[in-house]
Amino acid sequence: MSNEPSKLASAPAKDDAELPRIAYPKNLVGQPALVTGANSGIGKATAIGLAKAGADVVINYVTHPEAAEDVAQEITAFGGRAITIQADVSKEDDVLSMFAKAIAHFGTLHIVVSNAGLQRDSPFEQMTLEQWNTVIGINLTGQFLCTREAAREFKKRGVDDKVSVAAGKIICMSSVHQEIPWAGHANYAASKGGVMLLMKSIAQELAPYKIRVNSVGPGAIRTPINTAAWSTPEAYAELMTLVPYKRIGEPDDIARAIAWLASDAADYVTGATLFVDGGMTLYPGFATGG
Ligand code: BGC
């Protein structure tokens, strides 16, 4: 055994398939789950992960219906149940009708993962109002609309102790950038800072109804949102200077954290952000400086 830092430090990105497989505990049976933005990236992995844990899954998407169908097929292939519903989470009518369809299909919802998000990066003084509004509209207003519908359904139904000790679980997709300022991405960082206090405020308000509300804060995860940060060896090496654990995150790293937060194993956890970031929030520059 050596105390040298991992040789993986400068190794190129590994394939998701090469990472150790960890089985999902089957502890979400009978708990329909809705995942927004579930046709790619973290949302896709989450839909599949929750289904592996036994949940019936609603796969929300806004574009690329065929990608959403592929996720549904992957789930039905291993015996899970899934439907796809198109909705733009920044539009109230879309969100209302998505929740109505989901509840009509599965009877209720127990888990809502408010995941849909995007980036429209720009140096600040060149940032357009459209870039600002698009990011705030999807990443923050979208989470308001979806978590509000989740809260309405969970509160109306209350606890069904045959399936969970809580009346419902909301998981918001945040980011390390709810905490780490990010030059060139002011709209995105502002949206995630907003998600942090949206999540905490509604966690406080809904806890007496046995509704748990938490966030996951991913670091750099191998998804289409940040291809430029990991797809070349040079970019990957640069990225690793920000990641003490010296590997990029995989979508399934996030999905497993979400499945745990959604389960009764996390029953006393509410109002928390679980950073899943390989240590990105640990001020890696201070490992040698300061
Ligand atoms: C962003 C990614 C970025 C990561 C770490 C995420 O929230 O969407 O683009 O790589 O944070 O900076």
Q: What is the pTM of this model?
A: 0.94
Q: How far is the CA of 154 from the centre of ligand 1 (A)?
A: 31
Question: Could you tell me which of 280, 29, 48, 35 has the C-alpha nearest to residue 172?
Answer: 35
**What element of type H or E holds 117?**
none
Would residue 61 show up in a list of annotated catalytic residues for this protein?
no
Q: Which helix (H) or strand (E) holds 151?
A: helix 142-157
The Å distance, Cα 148 to ligand 1 centre, comes to 26
Backbone phi, then psi, for 58, in 5-degree steps?
Answer: -100, 120
Residue nearest to atom 7 of ligand 1 (CA): 175
* pLDDT over 90 (residue 7): no
Instruction: Indicate which atom in ligand 1 lies nearest the CA of residue 180.
Output: 12
Is the pLDDT assigned to residue 3 strictly greater than 90?
no
- What's the whole-number mean pLDDT along residues 50-70? 98
pLDDT in tens, 205-221: 999 999 999 999 999 99
Say yes or no to pLDDT of 1 above 70. Answer: no
Check whether 2 has a pLDDT greater than 80. no
**In the chain, where the domains are located:** 4-278
Strand-pairing partners, residue 198, are none
Indicate the average pLDDT of the chain.
Answer: 94
Residue 19: per-residue pLDDT: 55
8 has pLDDT over 50: no
Residue 88's pLDDT is 98
Kind and range of the H or E run holding 115? none
The mean pLDDT value for 143-147 works out to: 99
Helix (H) / strand (E) containing 89: none
Q: Tell whether the model's pLDDT for residue 93 goes beyond 80.
A: yes
B/e letters for 154-180, b = 16+ CB within 10 Å, e = fewer, are beeeeeeeebbebbbbbbbbbbbbbbb
Nearest CA-CA partner of 189 in 199, 168, 174 = 174
Looking at residue 4, its pLDDT comes to 52
Answer whether residue 23 shows pLDDT above 60. Answer: yes
Spelled out in words, what is the top-level CATH class assigned to the domain 4-278? alpha beta
Residue 167 DSSP symbol: S
Closest Cα to residue 135, out of 85, 95, 173, 189?
189
Split at pLDDT 50, 70, 90, the class of 70 is very high
In whole angstroms, how large is the CA radius of gyration of the chain? 19
Residue 246 burial (CB < 10 Å; 0-12/13-18/19+)? middle
Task: Report residue 32 as tokens.
Answer: 């329909």
pLDDT greater than 80 at residue 56 = yes
Q: What are the pLDDT digits (tens) for 169-193?
A: 999 999 999 999 999 999 999 999 9
The confidence score (pLDDT) of residue 289 equals 86
Pocket test for ligand 1, best of 175, 240, 243 (most atoms within 8 A of CB): 175
Asked if 171 and 113 touch (Cβ cutoff 8 Å), the reply is yes
Evaluate if residue 124 carries a pLDDT over 60: yes
pLDDT (0 to 100) of residue 49: 98
Task: Please state, as a whole number, how many other Cβ atoms lie within 10 Å of the Cβ of residue 241.
Answer: 12
